[in-house]
Amino acid sequence: MKYNILLGFVLLSFGTITAQSTIDKALTEIAKNNKTIQANTNYWNAQKVQYKTGNSLYNPTVEYDYLQGTPANAGNQTDIVITQSFDFPTVYGKKNQLAKELTNQADFELKAANQTLLFEAKKVCIELVYRNKLQLPLTKRKEATAKWLAHFKKKLEVGDGTILDINKAEIQLLEIKKQFQDNASAVAKLNEQLTSLNGGNALVITDVAYFDIPVIPDFETLEKEIDAHDYLKKKLELEKVIAQKQMDVSKAMALPKMEVGYHYQGILGQTYNGIHTGISLPLWESRNTVKLQKAKMTFAESVLTDHTNEHYYEIKQLYGRYESLKSILDEYQYIYQSVAPMPLLDKALAAGQISVLEYFVELNYYNDSYNSFLKIEKEYYEVVATLLKYQF
């Protein structure tokens, strides 16, 4: 009997695995309506615009001097100087290269942020489906226990029952009602969380199916795919490139700045026109900037190495857990005989083959087993979702 009852629970669960899920549709809506994603998009687009500014010529300057001579017959002097300053020519090319890399990094920053947010939303969806699946047997358990409680009370009225049976049923019903209400509250809270993630637009998932799982390749193949879409790693790789580009800019900025322009001078009725030129001497302004960028590049290399190692072993650990959980679930799927558990127990109790105490003990045993299975199934989908996070 224990085998058949447990079997019924298992097949009840697997009957919903291949059903069409709405999780992907929910994530599509969240990607479109989420306020954080919209804010991130606006912020990084603004950053990209900012990276492209500041690489133009300095504003031209106009100087005007009018000097009165003393004594009166000394005459007056007028000076007009129009100048245009600019960095050493190689600076502009270096700054353009730096802006390009910063723009690429902004794209990876945005993708990484959106990837993380959508993954968190998917975990909420998985938890919600788990709660929806749990609510079904809890509802049946509550209805069945309420039915037996009414039956025991009726038997007591005709002198064919005991108050002990009623007490056992009332305690059992009280516990099931608590589990039912706790789970219902969790469902409501998760749906509110989804609505919040959806920018305040109502989003409710009532499905008891997760999502279709594609064929998961072997670890080495999957690790390469994940690595190719690791936006955080790409961002860190660009940190090295950006540090190098910033060092190139710093070196170029240490070269002399120049200015050219027009100079007019009028004095004692005579005028002078000519070209104005100038050059700055890079003595103090750029001190230690190259050394600073070298330190940043060394730090970026260390962070990238640490991330690469940690990410590899994190994926390896997840993949091992995925294989373990898949093996457990596959064993359940091999069971092909389906027997509903509650009718068996009901018949046994009605026929007097088991006592009320035995009935509830057996029922609780199989309920606990089924609850454990639902948790294992949820963890399986969470692990799969984590492995497939790179697809966002």
Q: Alpha-carbon dihedral of residues 69, 70, 73, 75, nearest 10 degrees?
A: 0
Q: 57: which DSSP letter?
A: P
- List, in order of start, the domains of the chain with CATH numbers: 2-60+89-256+286-391 (1.20.1600.10)
Is the predicted pLDDT of residue 340 greater than 60, yes or no?
A: no
CA 30/CA 117 separation, integer angstroms: 9
Contacts with 369 (C-beta within 8 Å, 6 or more apart), sequence order: 6, 9
Is the predicted pLDDT of residue 244 greater than 50, yes or no?
A: yes
SS3 state at 18: coil
Q: 261: which DSSP letter?
A: E
Any idea which residue has 């959806």 for tokens?
198
183 band by pLDDT with thresholds 50, 70 and 90:
very high
Q: If you average pLDDT over residues 316-334, what whole number do you get? A: 85
User: For the segment 3-23, what is each residue's pLDDT rounded down to a tens digit?
Assistant: 344 434 443 443 333 333 589
User: For the segment 128-137, what is each residue's pLDDT rounded down to a tens digit?
Assistant: 999 999 998 8
- Which of 59, 56, 139, 45 lies closest to 91 in space, CA to CA? 56
CA 343/CA 337 separation, integer angstroms: 16
Burial 172-185, CB ≥16 within 10 A → b, else e: bbeebeebbeebee
- Which of 91, 92, 103 lies closest to 49 in space, CA to CA? 103
Q: If you average pLDDT over residues 178-201, what whole number do you get? A: 93
Cβ pair 187, 121 in contact under 8 A: no
